[in-house]
Structure 1
Amino acid sequence: MAKNNSLNQLKYEISKELGYIHSGPQEYQGFLDRTKYEVANELGITLNQGYNGEISSRDAGRIGGNIGGKIGGNMVKKLIAYTESNMIK
């Protein structure tokens, strides 16, 4: 569980650095909830509140990829910088 909390903390920090959110971790969850419906709508994918087992894995991946692309790329950059700085020590 600690790994998941650390990963969520990193996602939250990156989202805050990128200006997606401006307050605490609760806002991050709200950001994710709002964004997935906005992205689905932009892609023409019907996403319902609650269960969405009828959508294809391809469409689910398109939604997640659009949300996570910028956040995920910056997470990788931050992890590489962290690793490089610790390798020097």
Structure 2
Amino acid sequence: MRVSRRRKRNPLVPGARNQLDQLQTKLISEDLGRSFDNKEEAKLELAKELGVPLQKGSNRDLRSEDAGKVGGAMGGRLVKELIQMSLQSLEKNNR
């Protein structure tokens, strides 16, 4: 029996996944200095920049450490941006 290691994380706000993906793509585009059409394309280019052999389709042979490099870089940047946006919103509302 094979156990899936990937957890599906759903946004708290229904329907927000598309906007989060767009924001993440925008942030990766800014970091890499190029424009991407979608999150998958951006993820593959980021992996290439990090020296991770990520490819379209199955990455069954990818080491956890390498997957974590890509996921951490993508998720970490998104979380930082979301926190910054929240702080700006709080500041604006407290004026």
Shorter-chain TM-score tier:
0.5 to 0.7
Number of matched residues?
Answer: 80
Match in the other structure for 2:39:
32
Structure 1 residue ranges without an equivalent (≥5): 22-26
CA contact (8 A) 2:24 2:74 kept: no
Cα-to-partner distance string for 1:8-52 (whole Å, 9 max, x where unaligned)? 424535755x5948xxxxx97x33112211122222221121011
Do the aligned partners of 1:14 and 1:75 also contact (CA within 8 Å) in 2? no
Structure with higher RCO (Cα < 8 A, 6+ apart): 1
Taking structure 1 as the reference length, what is the TM-score of the superposition?
A: 0.57
The alpha-carbon distance between structure 1 residues 40 and 74, as it changes in their structure 2 partners (threshold 3 A), is same
Match of 1:43 in 2: 50
What are the ranges of 5 or more consecutive residues in structure 2 without an aligned counterpart?
A: 1-9
In proportion to residue count, which structure has more helix? 1
Question: Which amino acid is 1:57 matched to?
Answer: S
Q: Does 2:13 align with 1:3? A: yes
